[in-house]
Amino acid sequence: MTIATNQPAGIANMSNRDVLLELERLRVSGEKKLVIWRACLDLAQNALKTVILVNGAAVVSIIAFAETRGLTNSLEYGALLFAFGVALGVVASFMAYLSQYEVLMNSEETDGIVFSRRGKRLAGIVACFMSLACFLAGVYLSVQGIHSN
């Protein structure tokens, strides 16, 4: 009489030592994937924090500069772009949260790491790059406003 198991093909023919070695190899492989996954998440979090921080600091700097020298149209538009960059950074963070939440829900259902659908992830990446573009355009306009002042 044979008992049906969910073991991979060939594992029944392996010695105890070979089974232990295979289990250790699978454990190490899983840990390696988790380390890489965590590193990717840390880099993404740092990128989001950076775009929010630099745009927010730029808005504060323009306000402080405007207090002493006055505000030109270029400085106004620069400050507006910096503020818009902060908003896009927040949108990117929210999309990252939604994407990670979806990964968590899918992984609980399937007992493994599942990537989220591309929409939320792509929207977050685009928002982050647009925030960076707002910063660069804001810097350009601010420099023009300072030189005309």
Residue 82 has pLDDT above 90, yes or no: yes
* pLDDT for the residue numbered 133: 94
Rounded distance between C-alpha atoms, residue 45 and residue 131, angstroms: 14
CA dihedral 71, 75, 79, 84 (to 10 degrees): 140
Q: pLDDT grade, residue 140 (50/70/90)?
A: very high
Q: pLDDT grade, residue 7 (50/70/90)?
A: low
For 8, list phi and psi in degrees, rounded to 5.
-60, 155
Place of tokens 């840390």: 42
Residues 95, 121 contacting (CB under 8 angstroms): yes
For 60, list phi and psi in degrees, rounded to 5.
-60, -40
Q: What percent of the chain has pLDDT over 70?
A: 83
For 103-124, write each residue's pLDDT tens digit.
777 766 665 555 556 788 888 8
Reported pTM: 0.70
